[in-house]
Amino acid sequence: MSHYTANLRDIEFCLYDLLGREKVLGTSIYSEIDRETASGMLEEMKRLCENDLAASFIDGDRIGTDFNKATGDVKLPESFKKSYRAYMDQEWWRIDAPVEIGGTKIPASVRWAIAEMVLGSNPAVHIYASGTSFAQVAYYLGNEQQKKIAKLMVDKDWGATMQLTEPDAGSDVGAGRSKAVEQADGTWHITGTKRFITSGDSDLNENIIHYVLARREGGGPGTKGLSLFLVPKFMFDFETGALGKRNGVYVTNVEHKMGLNVSSTCEVNLGEKEPAVGFLLGDVHEGIKQMFKVIEFARMMVGTKAIATLSAGYLQALAYAKVRVQGGDMKVMNDKASPRVTIIHHPDVRRSLMVQKSYSEGMRALVLYTASIQDEIELAQAAGDQDRIKKMEALNDLLLPIVKGFGSERSWTLLGTESLQTFGGSGFTQDWPLEQYVRDAKIDTLYEGTTAIQGLDFFFRKVIKDGGATLGLLGKEIQAFAESGGAHAQEKEALLKALGDLNAMVGVLVGHAMASQEDSAEIYKVGLSTSRVLMTVGDIITSWLLLRQADIASDKLVGATGRDADFYTGKIASAKFFIANVLPHITADRKIIEATGSSIMEIPESAF
């Protein structure tokens, strides 16, 4: 039996009932994908994920990677390669490839709905299959020669990596030491060592194109001195793709990790054995700007992966709670002769399940809402509406650290404290997939920028940098909904109060940031609270989306019967539960932020 069950009913509710995606399907640049086609794609992906992709999930963890240190080559389990091939052979890669070289244009909202199922069933399949997504960067930002590389990446199923991190640099990308020296033929020789490189090598693809950040000879310090180079594992003929000699980029170690073991996380050395030949992307030295095209996709993927895993964990816990018999009903717990009941009858188990349900469904809505903004960006670009492009891009930028930071942090925490806990001691064993979910999901809070980095990015780059305009516009939209009355008026009042608390928190941090211009130590107060604000914003947006769903469900519940009625009843219940149990903490967080000083920064290290 598959470990994975896709919640397609809720995915489609989000896409069509909540976000109204049928209004863009079959129109403009999405003219070839109408609702019927999109629903067919989702249904087919559900079948593929629950069977072919999920089949190697456990093998990938237990067998992991096989690294040959002498050659620098990595081999993967045969069962996993079979899952990967099932995904690629059915041509799902087309939804990520540039349309000009064989891709299929679909709305981002449908694309990320599909991705949720892949990432929930076997996340490493999605990660290894990212070569076509990387090809977009080479195609749209590259010169004519690099457009040919992009086409070869698509046509020949070449892999790709993103190489930023270095052993001594970590998240401080601008401190990287990798160097690039231009050659007479226009190529560059790259030297340096990169660490924590996802998909650094495998036997899935005949070639890999490494996207490497390096500092060109004469390049200045920090991120502004970095350029982005395409460095192939094997050199090749640009017309036919025929492979030539081995290039000087070698894996020197594969990390032994806590989870996600089939995904090769590698240390990579460039230029030690022989020159590592690279091609400057687009003939311009704009490395960090170009790489952020990849980073933004990766952060969306990480948040989606985490939330997809929480959904899988919740559905596993729910199924277990319905069959695990233990204890009597609490109403007659002193009657030892009373019938034993399944644990879903116990109050705290129900509380736990509703926490999981409300967060997994609310954060799914967060992912798809963000993806719907990406739909709007593409439609505005097609229409040449520059004002709307700017507005929607700012909103997308604001939401990405929430999807990644908030989504990964909440999912990892809930998988361990609620989903696994539902199983009791059985959850701690490998008899059930929860312990693997927990291990696999922890990385989501770490890579592509830790939660603390997401909080700093959110506050300084997404709020302060535009004067709070985008957060203010989103806040006004949430406020208008909260003041709309009608169904769930009490819950909307609670949302309005939480929004007021958030505005006060942001105001306090802005005040500290301004004060730091006179007293630099004031900035510590901001750093102590940005993660708390990020979580607060995530909880408020999730509340808003859950309540919107509840309003829709209330209307649809009239006349509904059977499973439909149960589905809508569950929607209303989860929204009410979330508002009652999560939002009150925001008032407490406001008081904590208002009282936060910087004394902790004055404590000597030896006192810790």
- Residue 31, judged by CB atoms within 10 A of its CB (0-12, 13-18, 19+), counts as exposed
**Beta partners for residue 276, in sequence order:** 190
Is residue 448 annotated as a catalytic residue, yes or no? yes
Q: Distance of CA 237 to CAs 17, 148, 185, 322, 485, Å?
A: 49, 10, 16, 59, 65
Q: Which residues of 130-163 are buried (b: 16+ CB within 10 A; e: fewer)?
A: bbbbbbbbbbebbeeebbbbbbbbbebbbbbbbb
Q: Distance of CA 127 to CAs 476, 478, 516, Å?
A: 37, 34, 41
- Checking if the pLDDT of 77 tops 90, the result is yes
**Angstrom distance (rounded) from CA 528 to CA 178:** 33
CA geometry: angle 93, 138, 441, nearest 5 deg = 55
Which one is the CATH code of 158-285: 3.50.50.60, 2.40.110.20, 3.40.50.12500, 3.40.1180.10?
2.40.110.20
| The token pair that represents 544 in the structure block | 């808003």
Helix (H, G, I), strand (E, B) or coil at 164: coil
Looking at CATH, the fold of the domain delimited by 8-134 is given as Butyryl-Coa Dehydrogenase, subunit A; domain 1 (1.10.540)
**Angstrom distance (rounded) from CA 484 to CA 481:** 5
Task: Please give the model's pTM, rounded to 2 decimal places.
Answer: 0.97
Q: Distance of CA 572 to CAs 128, 322, 362, 567, 568, Å?
A: 38, 21, 12, 9, 6
Amino acid letter, 242: A
What percentage of residues in the chain have a pLDDT greater than 70? 100
- Checking if the pLDDT of 333 tops 80, the result is no
What is the length of the chain?
Answer: 608
Q: Distance of CA 378 to CAs 152, 347, 371, 458, Å?
A: 25, 47, 11, 23
- Provide DSSP, 303-339: HHHHHHHHHHHHHHHHHHHHH-EEEE-GGGTT-TTSP
Q: Which residue in 12, 448, 477, 602 is the catalytic one?
A: 448
| pLDDT tens digits along 84-134 | 999 999 999 999 999 999 999 999 999 999 999 999 999 999 999 999 999
- Domain edges within the chain: 8-134, 158-285, 450-602
| pLDDT tens digits along 472-522 | 999 999 999 999 999 999 999 999 999 999 999 999 999 999 999 999 999
Which of the 8 DSSP states describes residue 96?
Answer: T
What percentage of residues in the chain have a pLDDT greater than 90? 95
**Angstrom distance (rounded) from CA 40 to CA 188:** 46
Number of C-beta neighbours around residue 66 at 10 A: 13
- Listed in sequence order, the residues at least 6 apart from 490 whose beta carbon sits closer than 8 Å to its beta carbon are none
CB 324 within 8 A of CB 342: yes
Read off the pLDDT of each residue in 574-588 and give the average, rounded to a whole number. Answer: 98
| pLDDT tens digits along 137-182 | 999 999 999 999 999 999 999 999 999 999 987 777 878 899 999 9
pLDDT of residue 223: 86
Helix (H, G, I), strand (E, B) or coil at 416: helix
